[in-house]
Amino acid sequence: MLFKQIQLKGIHDGTISLAFRCWKNPRVKKGSLIKTPVGQIKIQDIREVSLEDISKAELRKAGDLELEDLKRFLSKREGARIYRIRLR
């Protein structure tokens, strides 16, 4: 799982605790650890969701995303599913 530097900083300081990804199949597993330049990130949970399931509060937890930006990002991967990933 790749993160931008600004996202890594937010995960490290606790302001970002969610990520959304669009994959045909999950690429991370609950409980797994990812090594990053700011330390290890733990995947606490991963669930398939629809765009309609994503709340404004979750967008804030993902780094103050706008729903339209997320839709644009996720729509690039036709036939893929949306996953909400809880991070720590």
**Average pLDDT along the chain:** 90
Question: pLDDT value at position 35?
Answer: 95
- The more confidently predicted of residues 70 and 19 is 19
pLDDT, tens digit, for every residue of 5-47?
999 999 999 999 999 998 989 999 999 999 999 999 999 999 9
Which of 74, 60, 57, 75 is closest to 21 using CA atoms? 74
| Domains defined for the chain, CATH in brackets | 5-87 (2.30.130.30)
Which of 68, 71, 69, 55 is closest to 18 using CA atoms? 55
Distance CA 83, CA 88 (A): 16
Which residue in this structure is represented by tokens 């839709």?
71
Distance CA 25, CA 83 (A): 9
pTM for the model: 0.88
Distance CA 83, CA 53 (A): 11
Question: pLDDT value at position 2?
Answer: 83
Question: pLDDT value at position 83?
Answer: 94
pLDDT above 90 for 72:
no
